[in-house]
Amino acid sequence: MKTVELPEIIYADLAVISRELSAISKKPISLAMATSLLISVYRAHMSEPCARDAFHQKLANTPIMSPEEFEKATDVPTP
């Protein structure tokens, strides 16, 4: 097992997704399982040439923050 540090807001989103997946499947879905499912969806999406090309184009034309800027922007305590 490896530990990953996430900003609180990202962790909260992942927890919501985990609960939503649990409700859909009517089975418990852990945060690790939710992460694995999200990675599987990403890989499935990227295996489609049209979707991959559109994603690459969108990503290339989107301003991306540096990791430091991202951490600063997401370092917002959740209520």
Three-class DSSP labels, 3-56:
CCCCCHHHHHHHHHHHHHHHHHHCCCCCHHHHHHHHHHHHHHHHCCHHHHHHHH
Q: Does residue 26 have a pLDDT over 80?
A: yes
pLDDT band at 79 (very low <50, low <70, confident <90, very high): low
For the residues 59-72, what does the mean pLDDT come to? 91
pLDDT at position 22, please? Answer: 97
CA distances from 30 to 26, 44, 45, 72, 78 (A): 13, 21, 22, 27, 21
For the residues 29-57, what does the mean pLDDT come to? 95
pLDDT at position 74, please? Answer: 85
37 contacts 29 by C-beta, under 8 angstroms: yes
Dist CA 26 CA 65 (whole Å): 37
For the residues 59-66, what does the mean pLDDT come to? 92
